[in-house]
């Protein structure tokens, strides 16, 4: 489709399009679809100022590289579950190396923090907050209790239930560990810049929203 263009306008339009394409490549556009959106935006802007341009058509050359077609073979290395598992194993290794208390695991630390935050809670509450399964959390609490870091008491409102509370020793351990835990977080992020860290947290939280609904 062609629109009326003032004298010399076609040449300028071609030069403008070439400039946009070069700028798109420098900016790291992943597909020609990004260039389509950019070109359309520029066209609308110029039309609003009373100038008409020749309309250039762009053709997508294929799906973005992160969207494999159905014909591609299954590669477990690229699957989200495998990547998350590797990332978590890396985090746990960093935790065990950085935390001075060699007997404190990542699961025990997050359980202690949960109990402190809730000022006493049931095992079910800990499971919901930490995403640690019921069978595992019992062992975690037992080991914390054996070190006198938590107290397990009958629930005052229901004698059939138990309440887990952080002891004075447990609260003191949290305070000593938090500075090192911050270092663990920093090392886990690794080379990610500030924007990438925010994006990663946002996307992981968004993945979890479906389970909470």
Segment-wise mean pLDDT, segments of 10 residues, the chain, 213 residues: 52 58 47 49 57 49 55 80 94 95 95 93 92 93 96 82 93 97 96 95 89 61
Give the Cα separation of 181 and 212 in Å (integer): 26
Q: What pLDDT shows up at residue 150?
A: 96
Q: What pLDDT shows up at residue 172?
A: 97
Q: Please say whether the beta carbons of 106 and 132 come within 8 A.
A: no
Q: What pLDDT shows up at residue 69?
A: 53
Q: What pLDDT shows up at residue 155?
A: 81
Q: How far is CA 118 from CA 85, 104, 142, 147, in A?
A: 28, 20, 19, 20
Q: What pLDDT shows up at residue 35?
A: 45
Q: Domain segments of the chain: what residues?
A: 1-64, 78-212
Q: What pLDDT shows up at residue 143?
A: 96
The upper half-sphere exposure of residue 20, i.e. CA atoms within 13 Å in the direction of its Cβ, equals 20
Q: What pLDDT shows up at residue 105?
A: 95
pTM for this prediction = 0.62
Q: What pLDDT shows up at residue 49?
A: 57
Q: What pLDDT shows up at residue 37?
A: 53
What are the start-end ranges of the E strands in the chain? Answer: 150-155, 158-166
Residue recorded with tokens 């746990």: 92
Q: What pLDDT shows up at residue 28?
A: 45
Q: Which CATH number fits domain 78-212: 1.10.10.10, 3.30.910.20, 3.30.70.20, 1.10.3720.10?
A: 1.10.10.10
């Amino acid at each position: 489709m062609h629109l009326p263009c003032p004298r010399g306008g076609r040449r300028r339009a071609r030069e403008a399009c070439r400039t946009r394409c070069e700028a798109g490549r420098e900016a790291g556009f992943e597909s020609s679809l990004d260039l389509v959106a950019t070109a359309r935006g520029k066209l609308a802007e110029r039309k609003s100022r009373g100038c008409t341009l020749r309309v250039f058509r762009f053709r997508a050359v294929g799906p973005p590289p992160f969207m494999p077609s159905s014909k591609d073979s299954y590669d477990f290395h690229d699957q989200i579950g495998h990547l998350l598992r590797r990332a978590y194993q890396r985090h746990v290794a960093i935790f065990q190396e950085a935390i001075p208390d060699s007997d404190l695991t990542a699961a025990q630390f997050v359980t202690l923090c949960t109990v402190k935050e809730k000022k006493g809670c049931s095992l079910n509450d800990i499971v919901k907050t930490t995403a640690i399964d019921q069978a595992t959390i019992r062992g975690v609490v037992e080991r914390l209790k054996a070190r006198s870091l938590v107290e397990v008491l009958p629930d005052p409102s229901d004698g059939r239930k138990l309440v887990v509370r952080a002891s004075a020793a447990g609260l003191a351990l949290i305070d000593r560990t938090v500075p090192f835990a911050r270092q663990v977080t920093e090392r886990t992020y690794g080379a990610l810049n500030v924007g990438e860290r925010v994006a990663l947290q946002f996307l992981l939280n968004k993945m979890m929203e479906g389970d909470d609904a």
